[in-house]
Amino acid sequence: MSGGNCPETPRQKMIGMMYLFYTALMALNVSNEVLNAFVAVNAGIQQTTENFSIKTQSLYSVIDNKAAEQPGKYAALQKEAHEFEVECNKIFNGIRRIKVQCLNKSDETIDASNVENDTCVIKKMDDINAAPAIMDKEAGGVMGDSLRMWMENFRDMVLKMSVFRTDKKDPNSAIDTASSFYKRTEVALATPDKIDDGATIPWELGLVRHMPLVGTLALLSKLQSDIRNVEAEVLQQMVADLEGMDIRISSLTGLVSTSKSVVMSGSEYEAQIFIGARDTTMRPTIYITQTAPYYDSVVKPNGEIEYKQLANATYDTLPLDEQGRGTWKNVGGVGEHGYGGLIFYKSNVGDQWIPYKSSYAVATSSTTISATACNIFYKGLQNPLSVAASGYTNINVTATGGATITKGKVAGYEGEYIVTVPAGSQTKEVTINVSADGKSVGHQTFKVMNVPSPIITIGGYKSGDDVPKAAIKGSPRLDAVLEGGFFPFKDIKYTVTSFTYMKEVRGVTSSQVVSGNTIPGDILSDISKKASGSSVSFIGIKVSSPSGPRNAPGFAARLK
């Protein structure tokens, strides 16, 4: 027989096996990249949560100080605030216990006591069974239902608090559900189910199903961060309501306003410092220092506290705007920076010195760019991309190499952007550039490849199989399919556009070119006449793919 009618050679099979082995190794590398990105995201969320916790403690102190000065007026607000604090800590610590249970389920030897800080090393980041065993009732877990119940009860409790009522002093007044504050809080604590391929997945199971352990921990950390964020916003509104209740000049409080409490290294921190209630006849003098504790105080015989400047501190005086607000700008090194001082003004009851203090943190820039499906962009596909630039606003993401990038999500992935490289493009790599606040903050280069070549099947049989003639007659077409489960994208479509049938008559081999993927009647007739054990061969197979036209391996089989 001629060489064109032979089955796949052992050498060809070996090359195919080596290719599959290589792609499997490539997929393993992708998994590690994604897991490391989850670790970075989780660390950033935990740092943000810690910043919220610091902020809330200062707000509780403001409420406590006011209640100490005028208990009859502010005791009820103080009581509600600390009851709220207990509930926030209860659900925050409950989520922490779930994280510890997931870690211990994955590795009983792990030290999960420090789960909220960097000393806890996640040994099995890619474990996909530990979290479902704790939270998915189908896997024997019960904490998923508990977590949802906690969240729903907590949300109902929060949205009935006085800060959401039309009359803050009347506990029986209506809830202002139309306010942006109410809607923002309702969304932050929502537990919506999600739809995946037409199936409803409960909110709590969306945290664990098909998710590596480190991904579940990151989602639980985000939930903790949402709770601390809501706690801070509710307390800020309480303090705002508190200030609105007290309009006496003798009890004004110095306030610090800033757009962000964390700035990147080299960036300028800006804060506005002013008196809580404005008096158009008063122009205060605002003194500021970075020497802790920022001011001194003495208790007078009548029990009042008198504030004064520190003897060993140097104070600057801030310029005032038309509203009586002083603006302070400072560039600090990486780390925590505190500042404070006194606001002086003359009132109808004498000279007043109002203390204030605050702090901000300077952090190094942190930008993460990751392709959430694979560390390669495939031509003609929607490649999901995730970009995180902590501490920045106004993020802009662009792509080189003729690729387009749009905001959006690909079903099954959590990426915030979609990168598309045109089919047939000659581009071999694409660089993703990220800029924020008017400057470049990071970039990442990804290789560009065509989608993998498919294999050819007839009636479900592959090349090299023993194929019944009835199977060919029952399904007279060449199908192109992607073999194996390593490719991360689903539902990739291939179509055979042409092929060549090798026909042998009395020892003479001829070829017949066919357009499309259907085996015509004359070829079927020729195959039906062949004896069992005879071979059948299709070569020169061309297919269409998302990346453009491709050549596919031939199909050779023995009839039975």
DSSP string, 386-448: EEEEET--SEEEEE-TT-EEEE---TT---SEEEEBPTT----EEEEEEEETTEEEEEEEEEE
Tokens standing for residue 488: 């991360």
Cross-strand partners of 356: 341
The CB density around residue 96, as the number of other CB atoms within 10 Å, is 16
Task: Report CA 188 to chain centroid distance, whole Å.
Answer: 15
Which pLDDT belongs to residue 260?
52
Which pLDDT belongs to residue 248?
43
Would you put residue 304 in left (φ > 0), alpha (ψ -120 to 50) or beta?
beta
Strand boundaries in 73-190, DSSP class E = none
Whole-number Å distance between alpha carbons of 7 and 464: 6
Q: Which residue has the tokens 């990804």?
A: 446
Q: Is 314 exposed, middle or buried (0-12, 13-18, 19+ CB in 10 A)?
A: exposed
Whole-number Å distance between alpha carbons of 444 and 429: 10
- Judge whether 340 and 289 are in contact, CB under 8 Å: yes
Q: pTM of the predicted model, to two decimals?
A: 0.41
Mean predicted lDDT score pLDDT of the chain = 80
State the DSSP code for 281. T
Whole-number Å distance between alpha carbons of 107 and 284: 60
Tokens standing for residue 245: 């209740």
Which pLDDT belongs to residue 408?
85
* Sheet containing 417-420, strands listed edge to edge, beginning at the edge strand earlier in sequence: 366-371, 383-390, 417-420, 404-407
Whether residue 293 is preceded by a cis peptide bond, meaning omega within 30 degrees of 0, is: yes
Which pLDDT belongs to residue 16?
53
- Judge whether 244 and 73 are in contact, CB under 8 Å: no
Q: Which residue has the tokens 């009548």?
A: 302
Whole-number Å distance between alpha carbons of 230 and 380: 42
Regions in the chain scoring below 70 on pLDDT: 1-44, 46, 108-123, 243-282, 302, 347-350, 361-366, 391, 393, 414-415, 485
Strand boundaries in 112-198, DSSP class E = 194-196
Angle between helices 71-106 and 143-158 (to 10 degrees): 160
Q: Which residues contact 526 (CB under 8 A, 6 or more apart)?
A: 503
Instruction: Name the amino acid, one letter, at 413.
Output: Y
Which pLDDT belongs to residue 306?
86
How far does the chain reach from its first CA to its final CA, in angstroms?
19
With CA atoms as reference, report the closest residue to 555 among 504, 510, 507, 517: 517
Apex 122 CA angle, 120 and 128, nearest 5: 145
Helix (H, G, I), strand (E, B) or coil at 117: coil
Apex 384 CA angle, 383 and 390, nearest 5: 140
Which pLDDT belongs to residue 442?
86
Which pLDDT belongs to residue 331?
74
Whole-number Å distance between alpha carbons of 425 and 421: 7
Which pLDDT belongs to residue 250?
41
- Using CA atoms, how far residue 471 sits from 465, 494, 536, in Å, is 12, 21, 13
Which pLDDT belongs to residue 330?
78
